[in-house]
């Protein structure tokens, strides 16, 4: 897996932003006993390059990725 992609909102966050996001997401997964994780991984589309949700990637008006 690559270190990240330039169109991804998660990959382009600062280090502190990533730390806060990972902490909150980990707490949510812990509180839902992993059900939230299973639903996210099973029902949502992910980027093949970075593995994050495709909905968080920047797109042009025609729907193509910005890069």
Q: What is the distance between the alpha carbons of residues 15 and 54, in angstroms, rounded to a whole number?
A: 21
pTM (2 decimals)?
Answer: 0.69
Task: Tell me how far CA of residue 65 lies from CA of 9, 12, 23, 52, 60, in angstroms.
Answer: 13, 15, 28, 14, 6
Q: What was the pLDDT predicted at 3?
A: 66
- Return the DSSP state at 66: -
At 2, the pLDDT band (50, 70, 90 cuts) reads: very low
pLDDT at 1 over 60: no
pLDDT at 23 over 60: yes
- What value does the mean pLDDT take over residues 2-12? 80
Asked whether 1 and 50 are in contact (CB, 8 A), the reply is yes
């Amino acid at each position: 897996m690559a270190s990240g992609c330039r169109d991804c909102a998660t990959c382009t966050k600062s280090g502190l932003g990533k730390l806060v996001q990972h902490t909150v997401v980990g707490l949510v997964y812990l509180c839902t006993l992993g059900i939230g994780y299973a639903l996210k991984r099973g029902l949502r589309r992910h980027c093949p390059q970075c593995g994050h949700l495709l909905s968080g990637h920047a797109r042009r008006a025609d729907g193509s990725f910005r890069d």
